[in-house]
Every structure is written in structure tokens, then in C-alpha cells.
Structure 1
Amino acid sequence: MTSPPGRRERKKAATRAAIADAALALFLERGFDAVTVKEVADAADVSLTTLFNHFPSKESLVFDEEAEREARLLGAVRGRPDDVDVLTALQRFARSAADRRAEPGYEGFVAMVGAAPSLLAYSRRMWEGYESSLAAAVADDAGLEPADPRARALAHVVVATIGSDPPQVDAVFDLLRHGWTV
């Protein structure tokens, strides 16, 4: 059992959230490339040093929940109940991500990322990292070697499916379960 975070940890988390919120508001308003990190620091009322203590790059300001997102993805495999198979757990994860498409601001966020080449590249690297981590978790869960191509293929398809609309997510997982039956 973990103890609740102390004051210092809560203060650091609040500062990080304030920086990320200020950055996202500015980026959505003016576009990623039109905003400087200095402007983000000023809007969050922190120094540039503090900003870079929390975020290693301008791009990381946009994807501020990167580690949490990866933990949730891996948790779908590692933390699932014993009576839930890996495909069902991953389908549930992908569906929950697909359901987020209806949240306010989603389309604006996607448009902002799509308009900035550096954000697209950062996002691609981030999801490739998730894919590698997921492949290792799936292989471990199935008792396979870490580089087993079946685990890598499954991870690739699952990661590519995240963010798709719910019917597409379901169609992909139906194919994974039953193969191509047309």
C-alpha cells in the first residue's frame, strides 16, 4: 500500500499541471509553432529553468501524460483480472481510448498536432515506444521470448488501433480473434 503524496510532491504535480495547462491553452489558441517556451513559462508564472525541470522539450509540453498513458496501456495486460484474456483487456483499453474522441477539445488537439511536424514526429516516437513496451508485456504474459514476432505484431496492431473509431476497434479485434473470414 502506498502512502498519499506529501506536500512537496503535490506542489511539484500542481506546478507541472499548471505549466501543461498554460502550454496547451496557448498552443490551441495560436498554434504550436507560434508560441515560445518563454511565453509558456510566463503564462504559468514559472522560470524557464522550472519549465525545463518538468518538461525536457517543447513537444513534451503537449504530451504531458506520456508516462501515465503508457502505464495504463501496460496495465491493461499486467493488471487485468485472471478471468480476462489479453485480447479482451486490450480491446477494452482501445475502446476507452476511442471513446475519448467525443470529448470536447479532442478534434482541436488532433488538428494542432497534425499542423506541427515536430509534434507529429514526437508523437510517432512516443507511440513506437509504447509499442515496444506493449510487445514485451504481451510476450512476458504469454511466456514468449521478448522479441517474439507474434507479440510484436499484436502490439503493432493494437497501438495502430488506439484512437480509431469504436466500430473499427471492434473489427480489428474480431480479426485478431477469428482471422479473416469473408
Structure 2
Amino acid sequence: MTEVPVGRRERKKAATRQAIADAALRLFLERGYDQVGIRDIADEADVSTTTLFKHFTGKEALVFDQEGDREAELVAAVRDRPAGQDVLDALRQHVLDTWLPIAAHPQAAEFNDLVDSTPELRAYAERMWTRHAGSLAAAIADETGVDRDDLVCAALARFVLEIPSLARGRQDRRAAVETLFDLLAHGWKPPSQPPAHP
């Protein structure tokens, strides 16, 4: 008997995980978060609840199924950036490459409404955001050779993570992201005022 390659097993696990997450989001958007139970999601994905819990820690985690990958990618954007590229430029490119497609997704508004209107999901998102900020600040500190509790690195990480939220409602999201990174790169300058007329 031949052994199943590890790659196939991992692909099958990833496909099951994605099917569960897709089923959960579909049900949450159709019925509302509070009206959907774990059993409903397992049935929709055609898996047992035991299988569901092998992939997800709880109901909130089903909504943010890719956040572990996003956190790792954020840190990698800093640590694995090309030689000669500074940290801020690497983060700018990462946000443009990863967040703009997410923001343009047809279900983005529905997803944001679901999170914003559900206290448990808002709280989970806040804990996740704080964890991401800590990981990113540590990566920035490591790359710049300062202590991991450096205040400037912590502030930069928090601001970078806030950029998608600040740019979300803008008509030209790319321009908004660029403007906010320009602010970080060059500092704040008061908006120019038209000259006063006598």
C-alpha cells in the first residue's frame, strides 16, 4: 500500500477548513450571527462538530478564519522584505497588495456590517488587532535593532494596522492608503488653506 503524500493530506485539511469557514460565513450573512449554531455550521459543511473544532477554536474564529495567515504575512512583509527596501515601504506595499483586493471583494460590506453589528465579533476583532499590533511592533523592533517594547515601533505598528479602517470608506482606497503612508513617511503638515479674501 502506498502512503498518501503529506502534501495531499495538508491540501485536504485546508480544503475542509475552507469549506467550514465558507459555510459559516454564508449562514451568518443569511441568518445573522446569533441565529446560527455550531451544529448548523457543521451540517452545512457536511462535517462533524468534532471536525469543526479540530479546525476552529470557536464560533468567532470561524468569521476570522484567515487571520493567523494574515498576521504571519504582516510579520513576513517586514522580515522578508527585499534588500534595500525600508520597513515602511515594505508595509505600504503589503497593505496595497493584500488589503485592496479584500476591500474590493463583493461581500466586504456585508462582512464589515456583520462584524460591526455583533458585539462578540467586535470584541474578538479587537483582541486579534491587539495581537497583530504586538507581533508587528516586535518585528519592526527586531529589524531596526531596538528593544521590543520600543514606543515608536509600537505606535508605528498600531497606525499601520489602522490604515485599512481609515481608508475603508474612501472612494479611492488606494489613494487613501498612499496618503496615510505618506503621512508616516514625511510627517504631518497642516492642510493648505485658501488665502482669505478681504
TM-score, scaled to structure 2: 0.85
* Contact kept in structure 2, 1:26 and 1:35, CA below 8 Å: yes
Q: 1:168 aligns with which of 176, 184, 192?
A: 176
**Which segment is superposed worse, 139-148 or 4-13?**
4-13
2:155 is the counterpart of 1:153? yes
Q: CA RMSD in A?
A: 1.4
* Contact kept in structure 2, 1:99 and 1:166, CA below 8 Å: no
**How many aligned positions are there?**
179
Q: Which amino acid aligns with 2:115?
A: V
Alpha-carbon distance in structure 2 between the residues aligned to 1:133 and 1:174: 23
Aligned-pair distance for 1:104?
1.2
Alpha-carbon distance in structure 1 between the residues aligned to 2:55 and 2:188: 46
Tell me, what secondary structure is at the counterpart of 1:162? helix
Structure 1: gaps spanning 5 or more residues: none
Q: 2:145 aligns with which of 123, 143, 152?
A: 143
Q: 2:125 aligns with which of 110, 116, 123?
A: 123
Identical positions, percent: 51
Superposed CA deviations along residues 46-90 of structure 1, whole A, max 9, x for unmatched, are 111111111011000011111111111111101110121111111
Alpha-carbon distance in structure 2 between the residues aligned to 1:180 and 1:11: 49
Alpha-carbon distance in structure 2 between the residues aligned to 1:53 and 1:70: 20
**Larger RCO of the pair (alpha carbons < 8 Å, separation 6+):** 1
* Contact kept in structure 2, 1:23 and 1:61, CA below 8 Å: yes
Alpha-carbon distance in structure 1 between the residues aligned to 2:84 and 2:31: 48
Tell me, what secondary structure is at the counterpart of 1:81? coil
Superposed CA deviations along residues 139-170 of structure 1, whole A, max 9, x for unmatched, are 00000111011100100110111342333322
Structure 2: gaps spanning 5 or more residues: 168-172, 191-198
Superposed CA deviations along residues 64-122 of structure 1, whole A, max 9, x for unmatched, are 11111111111110111012111111111222313431221111111111111101110
Which residue number corresponds to residue 27 of structure 2? 26
2:67 is the counterpart of 1:66? yes
**Which segment is superposed worse, 4-13 or 146-155?**
4-13
Which residue number corresponds to residue 193 of structure 2? none
Q: Which amino acid aligns with 2:156?
A: L
| Larger CA Rg, structure 1 vs 2 | 2
